[in-house]
Amino acid sequence: MGVGIEVTTLNAWYGTNHTLQDINLHIPANHATALIGPSGCGKSTFVRCINRMHETNPIARVTGSVRIGDLDIYADAKPVEIRRRVGMVFQRPNPFPTMSIYDNVAAGLKLNGYNNRRELDEIVEKSLKNSALWDEVKDDLKKKSGASLSGGQQQRLCIARALAVDPEVLLMDEPASALDPVSTSKIEDLIFQLKSQYTIVIVTHNMQQAARVAEKTGFFLNGRMVEFDSTHKIFTNPSDKRTEDYITGRFG
Amino acid sequence: MVNAKVPEIHISQVQFQPEPQAADGQLPAVAVEASPIRRFLLSRGNSAIADRGFHVLMVLCAFSIFGIVVLIAYELMTLSKLAWGTFGLDFFYKAFVDTYSNQPLYWDPVNSHFSALPFIYGTLVSSFLALLLAVPLAIGVAVFLTEMCPRVLRGPLAFITELLAAIPSVIYGLWAVFVLVPLLREHLNPWLIKLLGWTGFFSDDNPTGLGFVAAGVILAIMILPIISSLTREVMTAVPHSQREAVLALGATRWEMIRMGVLRNARIGIVGAIILGLGRALGETMAVTMVIGNSPEIHRSLLANGSTMASVIANEYAEASSNLHLSALTELGLALFIVTIVVNAFARLLVWAVTRGAPSATH
């Protein structure tokens, strides 16, 4: 089951570029939360702060606190521990090309020394079923490489890989922006099914996507969070003029 | 877009640019009076001959490389015909037996007995010893430079590593004779004999310090730059998204390098290693100076030996008989073929990995 995320005065920098400014936010457990905003507004940086991927860039810096459940991830834990609890799906599908489909899904577990053959088989099957890929790949799990799949299948494989380690939170950074409409709708269906079991944070450029999958939506602009509310309110009756301008297509 | 209220522009509102109109339905007239610049440019002609000449020259340059390779191969084959006719394939795997001592006799110019066996053995042993020492070191250097090194140090360190490749091999040889060999003789060899003497690979019968180990160490230093710089290249070609994918699964830095980088770059790394092998096989001067130059096969790595390249360098100028010359040339031909095949294969592997590589952005 997922846990909630409490973000308090989060600030982030790339070099001298202040990309996130004083973000305060509560992301509810077991729901999907969408983050929208124009390019460069800091929404990707924000999700990368939740699993401490932001700091893998040597010029990046973060202050403030992020609590996942009751764990303060910047004060009480090492990045490696956080990333084992928080799964991430990236903008471009990035399966491991040298591994079979099976090994791709099992990668996170094998990495952590989980070697029980029979249980691995079960987890791989369950994760692939959860990511709606099982029926398409079950016959060549160990024969085909992760890179031999189509773009949409690769992205679902990446979701399966993230789910296999049973994360509490699933971060998705524009998971469908590199995919065609059919694959996109499959990914959206998937998010819809998964959000009862995981806390999902999805960054998207596509406002319809946010409206379709998320209960909560946050609007980011120039490194600040302008508005955070229920998706319905954001799209029908936003309280900030800038939010309204953005969702009506006046800019961005 | 949801609730899209994008202001639309109707086609009737657009101000179009007017089409150019020629006076009286005529095409716009060409200027009659040419300016000085125009007259100068017109006087230049179309330069067709110069261009054709340039084309021919460049084609000649390109084909001269190919021609040189073919000529070398042709020359080696003609010169080695005599040895090939005398010994055939036996040259590469058979030894003669000395009728007096009952010992194998590989290379005896006086009695015109020639066999490539000890040189093939020496080349293989010294090269593989070099790979054994250089590969872990080179991969370590490459991993450090691409994944761990602070950005300020990356440039200078890579530069120094690659500078090793620019040192002439005779300088390596000199350094080996004056520094490395005494070091081996006084310190490393006694220790190897004491610890590993029981394996038979390190026997105590060569007090000079010269031999396969000395050659292997010096070769390792010489092939280090090419292996590490190519390994670095294929590692940089691994997309950043692969590193992030592994990190996001909760990998430590080492696990990220192993699973996200080395695993993806492995074919290219094999290519880099084989390219290093290609250099080691053909390296002549430094090896000749430290390997001891005796055409014998010993199990001990501390024994004197000889390689295909070193025996050619040592004996070609002094070869007395035609058969001796021809046998040396045949060794050269064999070395030529092996190194070309090894290099081509290695380049192919490196190319397979680095082609279409995205620019290395962090």
State the angle between helix axes of B322-354 and B48-87 in degrees (0 to 180), rounded to the nearest 10.
130
Contact at CB, A112 and B250, closer than 8 angstroms: yes
CB B219 within 8 A of CB B127: yes
Q: How far is CA A145 from CA A95, A154, A156, A229, B34, in A?
A: 9, 10, 14, 42, 68
pLDDT, one tens digit per residue, over B67-92 is: 999 999 999 999 999 999 988 888 88
pLDDT mean across residues, chain B: 87
**Which pLDDT belongs to residue A1?**
66
Q: Measure CB to CB from residue B259 to each of A111, A235, A249 and give the nearest one.
A: A111
Distance CA B40, CA A200 (A): 72
Contact at CB, B4 and A248, closer than 8 angstroms: yes
Contact at CB, A235 and B242, closer than 8 angstroms: no
Q: Compute the average pLDDT of residues B204-229.
A: 92
**Which pLDDT belongs to residue B347?**
85
Distance CA B328, CA B309 (A): 9
- Side chain identity at B362, as an amino acid letter? H
Judging by DSSP bridges, how do beta strands B113-114 and B107-108 pair with one another?
Answer: antiparallel
- Which residues of chain A does B5 touch, with a Cβ-Cβ cutoff of 8 Å? 248-250
CB A163 within 8 A of CB A127: yes
- Alpha helices (H) in B237-284, listed in sequence order: 240-248, 253-255, 263-282
Is pLDDT at B199 greater than 50 in this prediction?
yes
Is pLDDT at B8 greater than 70 in this prediction?
no
Beta-carbon pairs below 8 A across chains A and B: 85
Q: Compute the average pLDDT of residues B298-304.
A: 90
| C-alpha torsion A227→A230→A232→A237, nearest 10 | -40
CB A30 within 8 A of CB A2: yes
Contact at CB, B249 and A107, closer than 8 angstroms: yes
Q: Measure CB to CB from residue A57 to each of B242, B266, B362 and give the nearest one.
A: B362
- How would you write the pLDDT of chain A (252 residues) with one tens digit per residue? 678 899 999 999 999 999 999 999 999 999 999 999 998 899 999 999 999 999 988 889 999 999 998 889 999 889 999 999 999 999 999 999 989 999 999 999 998 888 888 999 999 999 999 888 999 998 988 888 888 899 999 999 999 999 999 999 999 999 988 888 888 998 899 998 898 899 999 999 888 899 999 999 999 999 999 999 999 999 999 999 999 999 888 776
CB A4 within 8 A of CB A199: yes
Give residue B48's pLDDT band: very low, low, confident or very high (50, 70, 90): confident
Locus of tokens 């290609």: B278
Decide if B325 touches A, using CB distance below 8 A. no
- 3-state DSSP: chain A helix, strand, coil percent, rounded to 5? 40, 25, 35
Q: Compute the average pLDDT of residues B178-190.
A: 93
**B 249-278: CB under 8 A from A:** 249-252, 255, 259-260, 263-264, 266
Is pLDDT at B357 greater than 50 in this prediction?
no
Between B4 and B299, where is the model more confident? B299
Residue B175: both structure tokens together? 């350094």
The ipTM value here is 0.91
Q: Measure CB to CB from residue A111 to each of B6, B249, B266 and give the nearest one.
A: B249
**Segments of chain A assigned E as strands:** 5-14, 17-27, 32-36, 60-68, 71-72, 86-89, 169-173, 199-203, 216-221, 224-230
Give residue B361's pLDDT band: very low, low, confident or very high (50, 70, 90): very low
Phi, psi of B145 (to 5 degrees): -70, -40
pLDDT, one tens digit per residue, over B163-183 is: 988 999 999 999 999 999 999
CB A19 within 8 A of CB A45: yes
CB B293 within 8 A of CB B314: yes
Query: pTM for the full model?
Result: 0.80
Q: Compute the average pLDDT of residues B116-144.
A: 94
Contact at CB, A83 and B250, closer than 8 angstroms: yes
**Which pLDDT belongs to residue B24?**
59
Residue B80: both structure tokens together? 């080695």
Helix (H), strand (E) at residue A11: strand A5-14
**Which pLDDT belongs to residue A77?**
87
Between B217 and B104, where is the model more confident? B217
Q: Measure CB to CB from residue A83 to each of B248, B259, B362 and give the nearest one.
A: B248
Give residue B323's pLDDT band: very low, low, confident or very high (50, 70, 90): very high
CB B334 within 8 A of CB B117: no
CB B225 within 8 A of CB B160: no
Instruction: Give the residue among B11, B38, B227 at the shortest CA–CA distance from B127.
Output: B227
Distance CA A153, CA B42 (A): 62
- Which residues of chain B does A108 touch, with a Cβ-Cβ cutoff of 8 Å? 249-250
State the angle between helix axes of A151-164 and A117-130 in degrees (0 to 180), rounded to the nearest 10.
130
Domains in chain B (CATH in brackets) are: 117-360 (1.10.3720.10)
